[in-house]
Amino acid sequence: MTLLAHSTSTAEQSPGEKKDILQVLLEGHEELQSCTALAAQLGQLQDASPPALSSAASRLIHCFKLGMPAHIENEDRGLVPLLFTTSLSQDLIQLLWVMGRQHEELERLVDRLVPLWTALRDTPERYAELAGPLARTGRQLQALMEEHLSLEEQTLYPLARSRFSPARLMELAQELAHGRRPPS
């Protein structure tokens, strides 16, 4: 991956294109994985130019302060409450709780990284000083993100696909795209 490789998020739908909520969320995962890889890599780029470092830090701030919270909200305020309207085993309830805790831990890691990314964006000449904390915390973010996304993709999304019709998953995507919460 190059330092500034940037995948364009496809979570926004073009007028004729219809995606269900799970497709939208999976596309968000692709962007989060790309940004997380960059976050893990950022502390090991001693040969990168100051403008490239500043640009990478700016991308990470955007991804994790705008993209990730929107993604989490779509899950925590859209998909998960809808799942709780169905019959869930204790194991599934526990797993949903674990995933919610992971969201909180991811947010805490991002809160630790944003000041580092901001400092790098604004003063890339401080890279040598910032590289250690960027590398350590970036690797922590990557490890937790990989575990979390895997749980969602292997458990949460198949569960939702088994519980709701394709039409309902499509409706949920539209409701969330227009800022409406689905009825419980």
Q: What CATH code is carried by the domain that includes residue 69?
A: 1.20.120.520
Full domain range(s) for residue 59: 29-177
- Does 22 reside within a domain? no
Q: What is the pLDDT of residue 125?
A: 96
Band of residue 34 on the pLDDT scale cut at 50, 70, 90: very high
Q: What is the mean pLDDT of residues 139-146?
A: 97
- Does 136 reside within a domain? yes
- Does 118 reside within a domain? yes
- Does 130 reside within a domain? yes
- Residue 59: is its pLDDT beyond 60? yes
Q: What is the mean pLDDT of residues 51-70?
A: 96
- Residue 16: is its pLDDT beyond 90? no
- Residue 12: is its pLDDT beyond 70? no
Task: Give the chain's domain count.
Answer: 1
Residues 6+ apart with CB under 8 A from 103: 72, 75, 76, 148
Band of residue 181 on the pLDDT scale cut at 50, 70, 90: low
Contact 79, 25 (CB under 8 A): yes
- Does 168 reside within a domain? yes
In angstroms, the CA 49 to CA 39 distance is 16
DSSP-derived letter for residue 4 is T
Band of residue 7 on the pLDDT scale cut at 50, 70, 90: very low
- Does 61 reside within a domain? yes
In angstroms, the CA 96 to CA 102 distance is 10
For the chain, how far is it from start to end, CA to CA, in angstroms? 42
- Residue 8: is its pLDDT beyond 50? no
Contact 37, 1 (CB under 8 A): yes
- Does 156 reside within a domain? yes
Q: What is the pLDDT of residue 183?
A: 52
- Does 6 reside within a domain? no
pLDDT: is 25 or 7 the higher one?
Answer: 25
Contact 60, 113 (CB under 8 A): yes
pLDDT: is 18 or 14 the higher one?
Answer: 18
